[in-house]
Structure 1
Amino acid sequence: MSYQVLARKWRPRTFHELVGQEHVQRALVNALDQGRLHHAYLFTGTRGVGKTTLARILAKCLNCTAKGHGDDGVTSTPCGECDSCRAIDEGRFVDLIEVDAASRTKVEDTRELLDNVQYAPTQGRYKVYLIDEVHMLSTSSFNALLKTLEEPPPHVKFLLATTDPQKLPATVLSRCLQFTLKNMPPERIVTHLAKVLEAENIGFEESALWLLGRAADGSMRDAMSLTDQAIAFGQGQVRHADVAAMLGTLDHRHVLALVEALADTDAPRLLSEIAQLAEQGPDFAAVLDDMTAVLHRLAVAQMVPDAVDNGHGDRETVLALASRFTAEDVQLYYQIGIQGRGDMAHAPDLRTALEMTLLRMLAFRPQGVPQPAKTPLPLRSASSGSTPVAPAGGVGEPPSDTQPTDSSASATPSQPTESPLGPPPTQSAPQPDAEDESTLEPPPPWEETVDEVMAPPLGEVSRAPAEPMQGGAVASDSEEHATSMAAIEQPSVQPYATRQEMAPRAEEGDTAVLEAPGPAPETPEPVVEALSLERPDAEVPQSQAVAANAASDALLDHDRWLESFDSLGLGGLTRNLAAHCVVETDDGNRLTLRLDPSQEAMNAEIHVRRVQEALATIGVSRQLVIEPGSLPAQVETPRQRADRIAAERHAEAVAALQRDPHVKQLQETFGARLIESTVKPAEMASRA
């Protein structure tokens, strides 16, 4: 006997053998059992999903002659052994007329077909017309078919099959019961292929079946045909390497390896994996497409783990990978991948485009998170957990007694200051880079120009740490006080003098005296040892200076945190993180800040360390811990305080404009309307 291909050998012969399409199977079985049969059925779906198979099973159900069925002989479980069933399976049943509409499109063919409809069946109970690819019929053929399709003789059933139902006239669709067959998911194809190969005693690797299931693209017939080809290619075995070579597809394990390199932020490994891929001559555009598809699955895994597509049979691997990325990184990488795919047409070559796209993902990932944190699955709207804590040593330790104490005098602004969350004030020394933590201390004040010293706004306190004088000795408290008092008693500049006039460059060994108008703030600030910003008529007793210096070691409460926030000199992501914190506890050794849960993604060790170092500059040397959690309802964060102040100032500006007589005159004369969203306070408008 000649070899019979798997697709024909394993074609289902009853409804219970049918793989998938349960929605169609249920409707047909119930209709057969209840005797509620329609005269015309339309099966739609892509190739190889079972349209013709369903029609033949239905023909057997209508014509099975086995005993024990109902009064009319119709059954939903054909025996498969009677003459009618065997004839239908072998394709020689006289009353099953199969027509290929693709080869018989003319109206003459349709009329010839319909001439025999009126005659009773010869062998079976019903005469069944199976018209495959019915959408290929001409318009005249459809018109000739309409009347018979609507009112056929009682012994005739029409079974129509098509892969393109949109091409059918609405008049045909309205005369049929339509069933849409679904594509086969890879999981179902792999399960069926494993069952077939076990029955055929053929060895196989499950990963090879997943390659076949993906290549079949939803068609069970294509999957069976590819399996036949794989058996021949692998000399009776279905192996992963053989199937990958036969299909010429990219090994999905290489794509996962690239994603793992992204998770580890390992650029050398990333380029090494691409170099190994290049040896196989892949389509690098397809590699990037597969990577973005994996990133999409990672995003789904983070939000809804149960909804992860298992088309590659790697669901557990994807879930494990998803926990190694932050949700922000996955979204960023996906967007960069999509944009990189569009840029490939302009790249020198596809490999270069792929490498640049992947390196761009690493280059633009949020800085300040040195290693991706473990992401619990699924993501929640608000979760709590511990955050990285700065080490006890180094910057976390209190300064020794020999270290100078930072201090400064206070100055009151002559105009409203900027919003606390505005641009950070210019410091008297450049901010250190994240990579260079060794240059945290600003240069001595006598090495700065007056403009640099006065760079912060008048509302800000310029802080310059005390340094040894050029002679090498540190002045005692009494010497500093005497020098400061002597400088204060000297005739000084006028309140409205320019910066250059207010404070000439400090000479060696001298103490520069800088004046600022306005009363001193209520909260005393530490006295600056190198520079004094007191009013010329103010007296600073030595006891008050010592008390101010001692106050720098006091416990940090939330009021002091709000008042000193702008003087910390924080910027960028670190400032944004700190602006959403409130002081929870301070026992003198350990300071705990409570972080708004919505900002938990920014919480990283490097930001904690920067905030800790900034607090040390105002005399708060503690081990710092920033923990996310619910904030007290009545306590403002620096960000909330800044927003409230900005809203109040905006409301005052709007009210002032509404009271302005010129504005009222414009409104009355021209019907003008004040657009409140464009109103800015005076100092904000000047900066704009």
Structure 2
Amino acid sequence: MSYQVLARKWRPRTFHELVGQEHVQRALVNALDQGRLHHAYLFTGTRGVGKTTLARILAKCLNCTAGGRGDDGVTSSPCGECASCRAIDEGRFVDLIEVDAASRTKVEDTRELLDNVQYAPTQGRYKVYLIDEVHMLSTSSFNALLKTLEEPPPHVKFLLATTDPQKLPATVLSRCLQFTLKNMPPERIVTHLAKVLEAEGIDFEESALWLLGRAADGSMRDAMSLTDQAIAFGQGQIRHADVAAMLGTLDHRHVLALVEALADIDAARVLREVAQLAEQGPDFAAVLDDISAVLHRLAVAQMVPDAVDNGHGDRDTVLTLASRFTAEDVQLYYQIGVQGRGDMEHAPDLRTALEMTLLRMLAFRPQGVPQPATTPLPLRGENGGGTSSPAQGESGAPPTPPAEAAASPARRPEAPEPIPSQPASAGEPVPTSNSSTAAEASLAHEPPPPWEEASPVHGPVPGDASVPSESAAPRHAMPSRSEPQDETAMVSKARPGSTSQEADDTDVAVLEAPEPASVYESVSVDESPAPEGERVTAHVAPPVADAPSGGRWDHARWLASFDSLGLGGLTRNLAAHCVVEADDGNRLTLRLDPSQEAMNAEIHVRRVQQALAAIGVTRQLAIVPGPLPTDVETPRQQAERIAAERHAEAVAALERDPRVQQLQEAFGARLIASTVKPADVAPRA
């Protein structure tokens, strides 16, 4: 006897043997048991989900002569042993007319088929017309079928099957009872394959069945066919390596290894895993898609663990991996992966694109890469405005000792050359926001964001008053480098009575610092009483290089010295949202705006501490996220306020300008306030 393939050998012969499609099975079984039969059924779904199988089972239920319980003998459990059941299983039942609509599309074929509808069945109880791929019929064939399909003889049942119901005319759909069959999930396919292989006595590995279940793409028939192929490929056994080689698919374990390397924040391991993948010649775009899919499953595992898709049979592994990521990192990695997938067509090659996407995930983490062994991050001037000294880099070297700082306070990185288009002098004074001098303004340029156009409060470096600000201003992060220094400005007075955060707070980043140095910045603050909640004025005096360092830091000193710290980039943005909460001489506590809590990383805290040590403030630094007081300003708020005041003065000066007034009177001109940009004007002698 010739070999019968698994897809035919294990085709279900009753509703109870049917795998999946419980919604269709329940409706048909109840209709058969209650005798509520429709004259036309339409089964829709993708290939291999059981449309023709369901139609044949229904035909057996209608014509079984041994298991009938109703008055007409119809049953939902055909015996499979009577002459009618055996004839239907063997494909020789006279009253089951199977028609392939793909090969009989002409109207003449349909008319010939319908000529015999009026005759009674020869062998069975009902004459059943099974029309497969019915959507392939021509329009004329559908028109010829409509009348008979609507009012067939009582002994005729129509069973239609199609993979594309959208192509059926609405007149046909309205005459049929439609059932939509679902795709098979990999879990159900694997369970059924394991049952079949155990019955067949074939040795298999479960991981290999998961590869087959995924490759079947929802079709049980495809899964059976692939299983036959895998048995032949593995010489009677189904092994994971053999199935992976047969299918030519990427081993999912390599994708999980890459995700584990991301969890360990191990860039070297990431590159090693990609190099191992490259030896197999994979589709790197598909690898990135698989990584994004795993990241999606990790996000689901973190939010709703019970909803994790087990399509690869690795639910436990995914749940374990999900506990090693923060929710923010998973969302960021997924976004970078999706964006990197779109950028692959512009990359030199796909492997480079994959490696850069994975490295970008690590580089853009909120905490950054914790161990930049060969590429130290600069302490300041991230945007090209300056370089960091070896003692202040990210290579792990300690900051400059306090003794050296006191003896040689001018040992700081040289300031960058001023931008030619925006010349600035380090020693050039400017008027305060209350100056009566009319500000010159420009009507031709769009203003930068308020943070960039703010006139910063500059405090000279101890021992070297000629050193200008060293950091360039990223958007909304820091004042413009081209702004001149100002010796007198409005600053906020810290709220009295602030208490220090406990050292063991969970959200506090604390770094140790050397002993206090002898160099400190001298600041005089107006201590006159002020109403509760109002801001007061503090005057910043030039520091003295040999001033004793015994005083406590308050918020006024923080504002006055902020620009002299030389911070840049994300570090400056973080510090600009802080206020001084407490200083006990050994530990300086800064309160951080909660909106910037995600940026509170150790690398930024270290940079702020090193910048403070460079001006002689050696403290143990703690940055504590929490609500800010309402009666003080952060450095950013101060810069925005000063920028708004200078902008208002510039607009008022233009409105008073006789030339502008003349243009308005002569031509009906209108001053667009949003285009006014304050200019730097030297004060009067």
TM-score norm. by structure 1 comes to: 0.71
Q: Say if 1:340 and 1:357, in contact at 8 Å, map to a contact too.
A: no
Shift of 1:110: 1.0
1:50 alignment partner in structure 2: 50
Q: Which residue of 2 aligns with 1:578?
A: 575
Secondary structure class of the residue paired with 1:333: helix
Residue of structure 2 in register with 1:414 after alignment? 431
Secondary structure of the structure 2 residue equivalent to 1:160: strand
SS state at 2:157 partner: strand
State the Cα distance separating 1:590 from its structure 2 match.
2.3
Q: C-alpha distance in 2, partners of 1:668/1:25?
A: 85
2:545 aligned residue (529, 542, 552): 529
Which SS does the other structure have where 1:128 is aligned?
Answer: strand
- Tell me if 1:113 matches 2:140: no
Q: Which amino acid aligns with 1:590?
A: R
Partner of 2:564: 567
Alignment map for 1:481-560 (pairs within 5 Å)? 522-525=538-541, 527-529=543-545, 549=547, 553-560=550-557
Aligned mate of 1:334, from 334, 337, 347: 337
Tell me, in whole angstroms, the C-alpha distance in 2 between the residues paired with 1:194 and 1:21.
Answer: 19
Aligned in 2, Cα 1:298/1:220: closer, same or farther, shift over 3 Å?
same
State the AA in 1 paired with 2:678: A
The answer (yes or no) to whether the contact 1:135–1:164 under 8 Å persists in 2 is yes
1:257-656 equivalences under 5 Å are: 257-298=257-298, 300-301=300-301, 305-322=305-322, 323-324=324-325, 326-327=329-330, 329-331=332-334, 333-343=336-346, 347=348, 350-351=350-351, 353-354=352-353, 357-358=356-357, 361=360, 365=364, 369-371=368-370, 399=402, 403=406, 413-416=430-433, 445=464, 457-459=484-486, 522-525=538-541, 527-529=543-545, 549=547, 553-631=550-628, 636-643=633-640, 646=643
Residues 574 and 80 of structure 1, relative CA distance in 2, 3 Å threshold? same
User: Which whole-Å CA distance do the structure 2 matches of 1:175 and 1:684 have between them?
Assistant: 82
Q: How much does 1:334 deviate?
A: 0.8
Distance 1:426 1:172, change over 3 A: same
- Distance in 1 (CA, whole Å) between partners of 2:636 and 2:51 is 64
CA displacement 1:9-50 (0-9 Å, x = unmatched): 222233333222233333333433444432222211111011
Q: Does structure 1 retain, via aligned residues, the 8 Å contact 2:211–2:312?
A: yes
Aligned residue for 1:682?
Answer: 678
- Mapped partners of 1:62, 1:187: distance in 2: 33
**Structure-2 change in CA distance of 1:227 and 1:328 (3 Å):** closer
Long gaps (5+) in structure 2: 372-393, 411-426, 435-448, 471-480, 490-517, 523-535
What is the CA–CA distance in structure 2 between the aligned matches of 1:667 and 1:87, rounded to whole Å?
100
Q: Could you say what secondary structure the match of 2:209 adopts?
A: helix
> In structure 2, what residue type is equivalent to 1:247?
L
CA distance in 1 between partners of 2:618 and 2:219 (Å)? 68
Return the alpha-carbon distance in structure 2 between the equivalents of residues 150 and 674 of structure 1: 77
Q: 1:629 to 1:318 in 2, by over 3 A?
A: farther
Three-state SS of the structure 1 residue aligned to 2:105 is coil
How far 1:112 moved relative to its partner? 1.3
Aligned-partner Cα distance in 2 for 1:198–1:83:
31
After superposition, give the CA deviation of every residue in 1:154-192 in whole Å (9 maximum; x if it has no partner).
Answer: 222211111122222232222222222222222221222
Q: Deviations over 1:527-576 (max 9, x none)?
A: 3238xxxxxxxxxxxxxxxxxx45x6443344543444333322100011
Could you tell which deviates more after superposition, 602-611 or 228-237?
A: 228-237
In 2, distance between residues paired with 1:672 and 1:177? 74
Question: Given the superposition, is the C-alpha separation of residues 615 and 450 from structure 1 closer, same or farther in structure 2, using an over 3 Å criterion?
Answer: closer
Whether contact under 8 Å (2:540, 2:560) holds in the other structure is no
1:439 corresponding residue in structure 2: none
Contact 1:395 1:609 (8 Å CA) reproduced = no
Q: Greater share of helix residues, 1 or 2?
A: 1
1:114: how far off? 0.8
1:401-454 CA distance string (max 9 Å, x none) = 9945979xx99841449966668979999xxxxxxxxxxxx89749x78999x9
Q: Is the 8 A contact 2:104 2:137 kept in 1?
A: yes
Aligned equivalents of 2:161, 2:103: Cα separation in 1: 15
- Distance 1:681-1:265 versus aligned 2 partners, 3 A rule: same
Whole-Å Cα distance in 2 between the matches of residues 425 and 644 of structure 1? 11
In the TM superposition, what is the alpha-carbon distance from 1:621 to its structure 2 partner? 2.5
1:243 aligns with 2:243: yes
| CA spacing shift, 1:651–1:524, aligned 2, 3 Å | closer
Q: CA 1:116/1:301 → structure 2, altered by over 3 Å: closer, same or farther?
A: same
Residue 534 of structure 1 corresponds to which residue in structure 2?
A: none
Q: Which amino acid aligns with 1:529?
A: A
Q: Distance in 2 between matches of 1:590 and 1:460?
A: 28
Structure 1 residues 423 and 641, CA gap change in structure 2 (3 angstroms): closer
CA distance in 1, matches of 2:638, 2:482: 24
**For residues 632 and 301 of structure 2, what CA distance do their matches in structure 1 show?**
36
- 2:498 corresponds to which residue? none
**Which residue matches 1:497?**
none
Unaligned runs of 5+ in 1: 373-390, 430-441, 463-475, 482-519, 531-548
Aligned residue for 2:218?
218
Q: 1:256 to 1:93 in 2, by over 3 A?
A: same
**Equivalent residue of 1:41, what SS?**
strand
Q: Which residue of 1 aligns with 2:475?
A: none
Distance of 1:450 and 1:274 partners within structure 2: 46
Shift of 1:343: 2.7
RMSD between aligned residues: 4.6
Change over 3 Å in CA distance of 1:640–1:444 after alignment to 2: closer
State whether residues 132 and 161 of structure 1, in contact with CA within 8 Å, keep that contact through their aligned partners in structure 2.
yes
Equivalent residue, structure 1, for 2:101: 101
How far 1:649 sits from its partner (Å)?
5.9
Q: Could you tell me whether the CA contact under 8 Å between 2:39 and 2:156 is conserved in 1?
A: yes
Deviations 1:71-102 (A, max 9, x none): 34434444444443333333333322211111
Q: Secondary structure at 2:228's aligned position in 1?
A: helix
Q: How many Å separate the matches in 2 of 1:668 and 1:79?
A: 102
Following the alignment from structure 2 to structure 1, what is the Cα–Cα distance between the partners of residues 246 and 455?
62
Letter in 2 for 1:592: T
Residues 212 and 226 of structure 1 are in contact (CA less than 8 Å); yes or no, is this contact kept in structure 2? yes
Partner of 1:131: 131
Distance 1:635 1:299 in 2: 40
- Count the aligned residue pairs: 575
**How many angstroms apart in 1 are the aligned matches of 2:14 and 2:652?**
82
**Hey, what does 1:20 align to over in structure 2?**
20
CA shift in 2, pair 1:139/1:85, >3 Å: same
- Kept in 2, the 8 Å contact 1:574–1:611? The answer is yes
Tell me the SS of whatever aligns to 2:281.
coil
Q: Secondary structure in 1 aligned to 2:98?
A: strand
Q: Secondary structure at the match of 1:120?
A: coil
8 Å contact from structure 1 (residues 594, 628) kept in 2: yes
Alpha-carbon distance in 2 for matches of 1:671, 1:61: 91
How many angstroms does 1:585 deviate by?
3.9
C-alpha change, 1:649 and 1:556, in structure 2 (3 Å) is same
Tell me the distance in 2 between the aligned counterparts of 1:565 and 1:527.
Answer: 14
Q: Name the SS of the counterpart of 2:538 in structure 1.
A: coil
Q: Secondary structure at the match of 1:92?
A: coil
Kindly tell me: are residues 86 and 106 of structure 1, through their superposed partners in 2, closer, same or farther at Cα, counting changes over 3 Å? Answer: same
How far apart are residue 271 of structure 1 and its match? 3.9
Q: Distance in 2 between matches of 1:226 and 1:252?
A: 18
The alpha carbon displacement at 1:129 in A equals 1.1
1:338, distance to aligned residue in structure 2 (A): 1.1
In the alignment, is the contact (CA less than 8 A) between 1:653 and 1:679 conserved in 2?
no
Sequence identity percentage: 74
